[in-house]
Chain A
Amino acid sequence: DAKTTQPPSMDCAEGRAANLPCNHSTISGNEYVYWYRQIHSQGPQYIIHGLKNNETNEMASLIITEDRKSSTLILPHATLRDTAVYYCIVRVDPKTSYDKVIFGPGTSLSVIP
Chain B
Amino acid sequence: GAVVSQHPSWVICKSGTSVKIECRSLDFQATTMFWYRQFPKQSLMLMATSNEGSKATYEQGVEKDKFLINHASLTLSTLTVTSAHPEDSSFYICSASPGPISSYEQYFGPGTRLTVT
Binding site for B on A (CB under 8 A): 36, 38, 41-46, 85, 87, 94-106
Residue among B49, B106, B113 having the largest count of chain A Cβ atoms under 10 Å = B106
B: interface residue count bin: 20 to 34
When chains A and B are docked, how far (Å) is the Cα of A103 from the Cα of B44?
6
A-binding segment of B14-22, B77-85, B91-99 = B91-99
Interface of A: prevailing SS: loop
Which chain A positions have C-beta within 8 A of B36? 103
User: When the two chains form their complex, are residues A43 and B93 in contact, meaning their CB atoms are under 8 A apart?
Assistant: yes
Find the B residue at minimum CB distance from A108. B41
When chains A and B are docked, how far (Å) is the Cα of A106 from the Cα of B45?
13
Find the B residue at minimum CB distance from A49. B105
Closest-CB distance, B68 to chain A (whole angstroms): 21
**Given the contacts A98-B32, A99-B104, A101-B106, A44 and B43 also touching, CB distance less than 8 Å:** no
Which chain A positions have C-beta within 8 A of B107? 46
Closest-CB distance, A20 to chain B (whole angstroms): 15
User: When the two chains form their complex, are residues B103 and A44 in contact, meaning their CB atoms are under 8 A apart?
Assistant: no
Closest-CB distance, B34 to chain A (whole angstroms): 7
When chains A and B are docked, how far (Å) is the Cα of A77 from the Cα of B90?
33
User: When the two chains form their complex, are residues B34 and A101 in contact, meaning their CB atoms are under 8 A apart?
Assistant: yes
